[in-house]
Structure 1
Amino acid sequence: MERKFCLVLIITCLFFIPISPTFFHSNDMQITDDRIKHTQGRDDGSSTSINITEIGPFKSSVETFVAQNNGTEFPVLYLKESFHIDAILSQSNGQSVGDKCLNIYLDPQENVRPISSINTSESDGMIEWFSGNQSQNPSLKGIEIAGGKIEGFRLLRVAFEPDTNVLGGCNQDSSDTLNGSHMDIVVLVRSRVDILVSQSWSFDGENGLLEGELVVGEVTLLRDRLDISIENEKVSFLRQYYSYSEEWVTELVINSTTNEQGKAGFEWEFGGKTCEGQPCPGIWRIIAHYPGSMFFAPPQDNISHELHYKPSERSDINLGEAGLEDEIWDAAMDIVEISALIVSLISLLLYLVLRNKEKDSDLDELADKIVSKQNSIEKTKHKTENTDMKTSEITQSQEQIPKMKTHDSDSKQDLEDSAKNVTIVQNITYNIQ
């Protein structure tokens, strides 16, 4: 009976024990607004409250992440980067409390020492704290790795603790009659990402590809601030071709998941000048795109490389050989034609030489005839001039006069014919020359 009573008593006590914030796991998405904001203090006129009005990267940026399961918004901060906090300390009646020291914690359930402290403004009880301001944060540290945590959900607290001497933070304020309070807010710590080429797929110009040639490409995802590889993240490779309408057309999207070294890649047999079964210019590109995820921000730029079609060297050689054969054949035909022309010219020259020789012999024979005729004429003239011939000779001569006249006329005719022949010879010689 006593054992049953003790068991019931223990179970009853467990129901009345409040759940501590330390039960919250940094990567738990089932977070309610009660766990995001928690204000401590009694509503008796001396109580206070802290309201965090803004938190975000760098000095003034603001980013949020919305949980898909319940629509809860979480402020986003980045690993190894600076951040800022704006908050206000006020009493329960709404009046601001100035010149009070506030401690700032990151993961207070694990780190009892604050990362920094700051006094509220005397005029409005507000704080504007920036981790990159050395006067407010001497260490200048931003969101650091803590307890092995890199990315994930972390708890950030701003606390007014007048009753406690906090090591590395605010001193005790014994003169203050106000009660302490704090506010917790869950933030999502993300890493920025670098996407790097580990195996290039750029092939253009002289490094172009043949149709069907295997293409292998690979990228690596690294944390921007730590150079640590990112595992189990999806990378998309968009395969596009340039169409005759002068626009890029996405043919296929290849998804790949990064391995332990943060590498993701693809393999593809180059399509050449055939794009989705249709002819195309043979210009392709593949874009490596990382869209980001809950814990990793997408990089600012994608990686894009082009792949160009290059004709086969064998076909180039065949074309070159065919062209060379054509050139040789043309040269041979030119030689044959020139040789035939030379033979024709030589034959013509030989013909002209032989013809000239025949004409020369005819002219020599004609000249001999002319000379003999001239000699006979001179002899005839000599006979006619002899006046002291005897009468008998005169008579005889008179009898021969008609003959001589006839002969004389014949001689004159011969002279005229000889003159004509000379003229003909001169014309022939001129034409030959």
Structure 2
Amino acid sequence: MKLQKILTVVAGVVSLALLVGCAEKDVKEISVLIRMMPAQETFFRDQIIPEFEKIHKCKIKIGGFENEWDIVKFLELEKAKKHGDIALVKVPFEMTHVLVQKELMSDLYVAQDTSVVNQDLAEYHPLASGLGYINDKPYYIPRKLETRTLFYLKSKVADAVTAFPKHKDRIGKELKKLNGYGLPFGYALEADPNEWDFYDVYVVGNIWANTEYNGVKMGRVAHRGARYGGTALDLIDKSLQLGATKEDILSLATDKVAGMFLWERMFVESNVYNPAMWQDQWKGSNIYNGIKDGKVYLSVLQQIDQFLVHGWKDDPTMPTFLPDENDMGLALMPKAVSFELDAQGKYKYEGTRAQSTGGWWWGIPKTAPNARLAYALARFITNRE
């Protein structure tokens, strides 16, 4: 009798465990945490999610976050619940290691068989999939890689090149007050932005700021200016271009980092930058609207920015931000050079055009109610079709 009772208890525990396990796997309503541009989110909600719900007979709820550190707050709250809701999170690269270190993310082998995961990840660019590995385990499915290139309006660059002889003496005198020499020795403004360095951006921006367009003179060069990661990354990249090391970036006190801030100061004081970028704390969408409104002629954009600015005329939900779609130009990043010149008018040092690579990945929290369904959704979102 005693043995029978023990067996009954054991059988009950095993049954309960099986029921709990089945319940977790059978959950058909999950939440996804994202941050996207309005047009992106509309496409995601209207085109991608309904198709997945139809195929998998499930319900996907969509939540959003503003600041990348909000992800930590949301997932910590999930841990405090009896049953979590968030099954998939769109994670920026700078948060990938943070979330794993805080033990908030599952590795992908928890969600799917090892052989399947390895086979799936082989479909992505090796750099993208490789950046999703932490401690030799895959934690993230790539969404996109990002790097920055120079965006400009072809017609306005042509205007500046044509007008340069008229502005050359004025700009030279202004620069002499700032760098002690003027324009660099033998300076010429190339028509092709792929040949530019930091001084060329200064020159065209200065010409635009002193030329009346639509009845207004204003700075028409811009980059992100809000107090968030996008702005910080722009400044870090410029420092690295000038030759700063990772240690220099952390200290914020070395000559190459100071050189970056000097360039930023000169762009501000000479009215090269549109002041709204810091007054109104511009993010990407603000730059898009600045382009549309004729307030931005040159900026630094990532690939997705370029796609959204150009628009897609076959889709009425993705209109162009360009006055003329054929006027959009893209180029390599300008070469970094020192603002300071030596006695002969030569750069005191020269850097590179290199830019960092980052991006976004899909991750599955440890509290995900159905990790296998979340994995399937991440694969569906990022598949080749």
Q: TM-score, normalised by structure 2?
A: 0.20
Q: Which has the higher strand share?
A: 1
Question: Looking at both structures, which has the greater relative contact order when contacts are Cα pairs under 8 Å and sequence separation is at least 6?
Answer: 2
User: Which of the pair has more CA radius of gyration?
Assistant: 1
Q: TM-score, normalised by structure 1?
A: 0.18
